[in-house]
Amino acid sequence: MPILLNIGFAPSAVFVFGLISGFSLLAPLALWLLNYWSHFLPFLKQFAKFAAVGSLNFILYLSALNFLIALTDKTGGIHFIIFTSVSFLIVATNSYLWNKFWTFQSDTPLCVREYIKFAAFTLIGFLINVSVASFFNNFIGPLQGINPKIWANISALIAVLSAFIWNFLGYKHIVFKKIQNSAIFFDTNKPLT
């Protein structure tokens, strides 16, 4: 709702009900279809889960971003950089937990080494996200008279898509990669306390 209200769209109760109902029905259907197709292309199941987590993260991200824009009525400059930074950091914890335990089904306990790898890849994803969003919002600016609040959301969407592939590949092949060798010389996989 903060997203829709901030961009000047006052949705009716019927629209909100349809949106919630549609998402509640279509998201599980999409996951089921991709799970079925994963019999032919195995990576699709994990990719579908990653996309579902990413969708949730994007909704949380836009909600936080639009809440901050609505709170201050600022859409550009340093304010936008701060708002996108805060929004991105909010979803980082959500992303870590969902991707660790659901998407990549890591059976290792929360550990320092994995968290550091996740933080490093998330930081790079964060820099990609904020740089792309800021470039489109602050340097290109609203095209053909698009409302600045709508353009801020378009910029954020372009940024999220830019970081999506980076995050998936990094999390899959480095952060949550299953450890094949049990011989560990320096144990950095101790559970966090």
Report yes or no on 77 lying in a domain. yes
Q: Is the pLDDT of residue 135 over 90?
A: yes
Whether residue 105 lies inside any domain: the answer is yes
What distance in Å separates the CA atoms of residue 112 and residue 189, rounded to the nearest whole number?
6
pLDDT tens-digit series, residues 160-186: 888 888 889 899 888 988 764 443 434
The answer as to whether 111 is a domain residue is yes
Asked, for residue 188, whether it belongs to a domain, the answer is no
The answer to the question of residue 190 being in a domain is no
Q: pLDDT digits over 136-158, tens only?
A: 999 998 888 888 988 998 999 99
Amino acid at 32: W
Q: At what angle do helices 112-134 and 148-170 cross, to 10 degrees?
A: 150
Give the pLDDT band (50/70/90) at residue 159.
Answer: very high
Domain that holds residue 82: 2-175
Average pLDDT, the chain: 83
| Structural contact between residues 146 and 154, judged by C-beta atoms closer than 8 angstroms | yes
pLDDT above 70 as % of the chain: 90
User: d(Cα 89, Cα 134) in Å, to the nearest integer?
Assistant: 16
Q: Specify if 109 maps to a domain.
A: yes
Does some domain include residue 62?
yes
Q: For residue 36, what are the contacts with CB-CB under 8 A and spacing of at least 6?
A: none
In this predicted structure, which of 7-21, 24-38, 61-75 has the lowest mean pLDDT? 7-21
pTM of the model: 0.67
**Is residue 180, in this structure, part of any structural domain at all?**
no
- Our count of domains for the chain comes to 1
> Out of 64-68, 106-110, 188-192, which region has the weakest mean confidence (pLDDT)?
188-192
Residue listed under structure tokens 């709170």: 71
Give the range among 5-19, 86-100, 121-135 with minimum mean pLDDT: 5-19
Task: Copy the structure tokens of residue 65.
Answer: 């971003």
